[in-house]
Amino acid sequence: MKVILASGSPRRKELLEMMGIKFEIKTSDVDETLLPNLSIEEQSKRLAYIKAKAVFDEIDGDRVIIAADTLVVKDNKIYGKPHSKEEAIEMLKDLNNSEHIVITGICTISEVNGEYLEQIDCAITEVRLKYILDEEINRWIDTGMAYDKAGAYAIQGEFGIHVEKINGNFYSVMGLPIHKLYDMLKNINK
């Protein structure tokens, strides 16, 4: 049975490897525009689902597709991946010295021995950043690592020095709620 990660995220790849899962990578090219009238949780689950479904539909045979999507939210404002240095600075200044939530939607779609199963969930983690000086924000952005991350930061690695506390799952903030994924994988072809 093929296990396929529908993501080019190096962090999601690293987490699946950490779990000891043998997998292939096939990215999806879906429109990630948020839809009106959906809650933030529904948005993250929907995005994970459409990524998984796009890859599932391209492959035959027994397979498990894993997809995820991470959103950073503060005061009902969604922070995606920044497209410029100015946008990254603005995001980090908004998140600076305050709490926000990170929502990671996760979806598995599987077909094993003719049994089709869709599983969709999300994990919500509260994150508090301590006060970050402007020069620290600029130094982080100058590393180039802010641009492929929702909210312009990564909890793991160098930026972690600015995370004061979290309430929830660390790996969900990294981009893959492995505790939920593990349970989903156990449900496949019981």
Q: Is the dihedral of CA 132, 138, 139, 142 positive or negative?
A: positive
- Active-site residue identified among 69, 75, 121, 134: 69
Q: Is residue 165 packed enough to be buried (19+ CB in 10 Å), middle (13-18) or exposed (0-12)?
A: exposed
Residue 123 near residue 172 (C-beta atoms within 8 A): yes
Q: Which residues contact 88 (CB under 8 A, 6 or more apart)?
A: 82, 141, 146, 147, 152
Query: Which phi and psi (to 5°) does residue 86 adopt?
Result: -60, -40
Taking Cα atoms as reference points, which of 23, 104, 14, 32 lies closest to residue 66?
23
Bridge-based pairing state of the strands 99-112 and 163-167:
unpaired
Q: Please indicate whether residue 69 is annotated as part of the active site.
A: yes
Residue 129 near residue 162 (C-beta atoms within 8 A): yes
Active site residues: 69
